[in-house]
Chains A and B, each alone.
Chain A
């Protein structure tokens, strides 16, 4: 690469330091170079691919194609091409995929920032475009950088319940992911061969694109700098991963939401997504006298109070709660009536039980109505739970009755259930 004379540099300025960031000599860090960028790029290539796949899985886990009440993105069109019936096995499936999605996303932030830092001189490079392709590539980089930062930012804000972004999280994060991934894919195809070539050379480079022609005195080696980036990732990982476990492990998540000690004490002392008070559940509605479960289907309607539900066959299942926000609990011991037995009350055979629409007493908030697919209804571990860990459900865990389905995202495990309508959706 030829070092051109630097334009826009006043000889009287500083020690001949160029003032314009479009000049390569403006950028003085001795760390920048193809090898450094390639290492970070390959880590992101793998990491973001995992984020994208686990994100698509989370989207499928909501069964958005089952019913409008599950679908936060009704205009998805072709983007829902891969949707499938979300399975109920293994019961920790969503706990794993969504825990990986959020934890990996958080741990990748330092890598993303370092990668963007390593290529920032290119943002100012002149001429703006050498060819039509080059112009389009630079435009695509705006979608890559803007889209990537948008995805990471909305994700990080959402897990902290800081809903400052312009709209509902689901469509923003889902459509944003496709915009970002479109640009990411093009970038990966264009750059991966060169990145792998740079890595195969092995030795940190002394010349090539991004290498400063006028480097400052090094204060850290390239490997040392990568160590710092990796250390940042480890720090974030180490203070986040515990929110997918209980007890002392959760306490290690010192800065992450749903880390630290469990809420309250006793059998109901495990993580809560929305408390009864937060969604306007009135204790008078859930009392023994007032509360009735309405089961509908096949043109029949059955009303049951809690005492009548307790007369039905009760079953137990050990199942976790796993939230889209990436936190989860280990298995809790639920006890209640099988969903397929409730379907049988309105005349459906256990093996042919259909989908169900579940409605909560909840006054406001998303997913106060949600739909479960027939494979979820038929699973013998899917319960309308009345007890957890040997005691009545607490108000915050959905007393008098809540749904619990293996491998389903937390919000589909409707709490304070008032009505269940069985039938093909």
Chain B
């Protein structure tokens, strides 16, 4: 980059124009979005990004790194996926359906819809069990296949 010393860089004028249009539209909608409870809404908007980038991502990335380290130390790094995938999928369902699974909206849900607000937790646990069970079956099958391949190898080498 050859920017003359001390002259502030502008960047591409076309991109600048595009961003100006984008901010104008976002501003037009934004003042309406913030009209009622500007602090609450701004808190949610910025808070969502901060919570995701600075809490959620470090949390699950750290957990994943710890999992790989523990399994790697135990000499089973290849097991990582068999734990990671069911945890991820089950966690995803929990994240999306947390209000129903936690039961915090059970009363309102029952009163509004005449449907049972209970049972989401047990169904989530069942799905989670199925995910882990399926993963365990795949891991066992994989180990059996590897063992068979290892047994056949001596005769194959000539």
Q: List A residues at the B interface (Cβ < 8 Å).
A: 28-29, 73, 75-79, 106, 109-110, 113, 116-117, 120, 123, 130-134, 136-137, 140, 142-143, 145-147, 149-150, 153, 156-157, 160-162, 165-167, 171-172, 175-179, 181-183, 185-186, 189-190, 216-217, 219-220, 224, 228, 231-232, 235-236, 239, 254-258, 260-261, 263-264, 271-275, 277-278, 396
Cα A235 to Cα B11 in complex, Å, equals: 43
Closest to A325 in B: B113
A40 to chain B, nearest CB (A): 15
Cα A136 to Cα B105 in complex, Å, equals: 40
B55 at the interface (CB under 8 A from A): no
Is the beta-carbon distance between A120 and B57 smaller than 8 angstroms? yes
Cα A130 to Cα B22 in complex, Å, equals: 20
A-B pairs with beta carbons under 8 Å apart, 12 shown: A117-B61, A131-B11, A132-B8, A166-B36, A166-B43, A178-B29, A179-B33, A219-B80, A257-B100, A260-B119, A272-B115, A278-B111
Is the beta-carbon distance between A239 and B93 smaller than 8 angstroms? yes
Is the beta-carbon distance between B12 and A167 smaller than 8 angstroms? no
Question: Hey, which chain A residues are within 8 Å of B119, CB to CB?
Answer: 260
Is the beta-carbon distance between B44 and A264 smaller than 8 angstroms? no
Residue among B20, B30, B49 with max Cβ neighbours from chain A (10 Å): B49
Q: Report B70-94 CB contacts with A as 1/0, cut-off 8 Å.
A: 0010000110110011001100110
A198 to chain B, nearest CB (A): 19
Is the beta-carbon distance between B15 and A166 smaller than 8 angstroms? no
Is the beta-carbon distance between B46 and A236 smaller than 8 angstroms? no
**8 A Cβ contacts from B114-136 to A:** 114-116, 119-120, 123-124, 127
Closest to A276 in B: B114
Question: Hey, which chain A residues are within 8 Å of B116, CB to CB?
Answer: 260
B112 at the interface (CB under 8 A from A): yes
Q: A75-B35, A186-B18 are in contact. Are A132 and B49 (CB under 8 A)?
A: no
Nearest first, the 5 closest Cβ-Cβ pairs linking A and B are A133-B11, A166-B40, A178-B29, A131-B11, A131-B9
Question: Hey, which chain B residues are within 8 Å of A145, CB to CB?
Answer: 48-49, 52-53
Is the beta-carbon distance between A186 and B22 smaller than 8 angstroms? yes
Is the beta-carbon distance between A166 and B22 smaller than 8 angstroms? no
A140 to chain B, nearest CB (A): 6
Is the beta-carbon distance between A255 and B97 smaller than 8 angstroms? yes
Cα A168 to Cα B68 in complex, Å, equals: 44
Is the beta-carbon distance between B112 and A142 smaller than 8 angstroms? no
A251 to chain B, nearest CB (A): 11
Which of B22, B52, B109 meets A149, CB within 8 Å? Answer: B52
A404 to chain B, nearest CB (A): 19
Cα A235 to Cα B88 in complex, Å, equals: 11
Is the beta-carbon distance between B33 and A175 smaller than 8 angstroms? yes
Known: A109-B92, A120-B53. 16 other contacts (CB 8 A): A109-B96, A131-B9, A133-B16, A133-B19, A161-B108, A162-B105, A175-B30, A179-B29, A179-B45, A182-B22, A219-B77, A228-B88, A236-B96, A254-B123, A255-B100, A273-B113
Q: A132-B10, A167-B36 are in contact. Are A178 and B113 (CB under 8 A)?
A: no
B157 at the interface (CB under 8 A from A): no
Cα A175 to Cα B84 in complex, Å, equals: 37
Q: A133-B11, A149-B52, A217-B72 are in contact. Are A272 and B26 (CB under 8 A)?
A: no
Question: Hey, which chain B residues are within 8 Å of A189, CB to CB?
Answer: 18
Closest to A78 in B: B28
Question: Hey, which chain A residues are within 8 Å of B113, CB to CB?
Answer: 257-258, 263, 271-273, 275
